Amino acid sequence: MYQKSGLPEVDDLLVCTIERVTQHEAYVKLDEFKDLDGMVHTSEMNRRWVRNMKVFLKIGRQLVCKVMDVDVKNKQINLSIRRVGEGQRRYKMIGWKNEKRADDLLQFFAKKNGTDIQELYKKFDDNIIASYGGLFPFFMEVARFGEDTLKELKIQSKLAHSLFELIQHRIKLPKAVISGELRMHSNKGAGLNAIKSAAQVVDKLAEKNEYEVSLIYMGAPKYQLKISAENKKKTEHALEEITAKLQGLLGGKSNVEFVRSRS
């Protein structure tokens, strides 16, 4: 797996693996860095852990630790377990799992294209990793902004295109979703026809403006509407666009109402 060179900074949260435990310390491997170890003193562990070290500090267990002190000259890293909140731990582990996903993608790409993985890692130098925060955030940027983002790697255009296609297939951008009940009322014949063709109208808008929409007829005058887009702002704009378009088709005395689902 890709590992950073250099040293972490004070207050960094790191994924670590327990390698050795003594009466007063736990020695861990810093999984995100090349050939770096750290130490957690019992004073930086939860009391429950100290009382049950054999249970909580098993060799091979992965933890999230906070960097308390860095001795640059001797490369000694002092860490804390108790100063990591549950929310921080959970968030860090999600990020770590995403990094593993990104690394698996890169290793698959290297094998498929006959490229040495270590040479490929060198393309992702620490400047790129530092700028984006990791492999996964970089791949997210590629998925969001397109193939040109890969120019930073300075690899052959054919390889860049192959990597872009793989990223598109494997990395799915998170989407903002709005869902709820759409109600349309009209007493005019033309308005009633517009209601019947509402799904076609909405589909055309979605295709034109690049968002996803689902409109399911639930029985007059109700439809189940679901809108998905790359961010909340775009979903809200899409909702306004859809309701305005339908209101215009139905006419001034008609009514278009959207009731959001509770979620």
Q: What is the pLDDT of residue 192?
A: 54
Q: What is the pLDDT of residue 223?
A: 81
* The pair of three-digit structure tokens given for residue 3, joined into one six-digit string: 């590992």
218 by DSSP, 3-state: which? strand
Q: What is the pLDDT of residue 225?
A: 87
> Sheet harboring 212-219: ordered strands across?
212-219, 222-229, 176-185, 255-260
| DSSP string for residues in 175-186 | -EEEEEEEEEE-
Q: What is the pLDDT of residue 32?
A: 94
Q: What is the pLDDT of residue 128?
A: 81
* The pair of three-digit structure tokens given for residue 133, joined into one six-digit string: 């925060």
Residues 24, 67 contacting (CB under 8 angstroms)? no
The secondary element (H helix, E strand) that includes residue 68 is: strand 62-71
Q: What is the pTM of this model?
A: 0.68
Buried b (16+ CB within 10 A) or exposed e, 80-116: bbbebeeeebeebeebbebbeebbebbeebbeeeebe
In a structure prediction context, what are the per-residue pLDDT tens digits for the chain, which is 263 residues long? 888 888 999 999 999 999 999 999 999 999 999 999 999 999 999 999 999 999 999 999 999 999 999 999 999 999 999 999 988 999 899 899 999 999 999 999 999 999 999 988 888 876 788 788 889 999 999 998 899 999 988 888 999 999 999 999 998 877 788 899 888 877 655 555 666 667 777 888 887 877 888 877 776 678 888 888 878 888 899 899 888 888 887 776 778 888 888 65
Angle between helices 135-145 and 157-170 (to 10 degrees): 100
83 by DSSP, 3-state: which? coil
Dihedral (CA of 124, 127, 130, 131) sign: negative
Q: What is the pLDDT of residue 175?
A: 77
The secondary element (H helix, E strand) that includes residue 66 is: strand 62-71
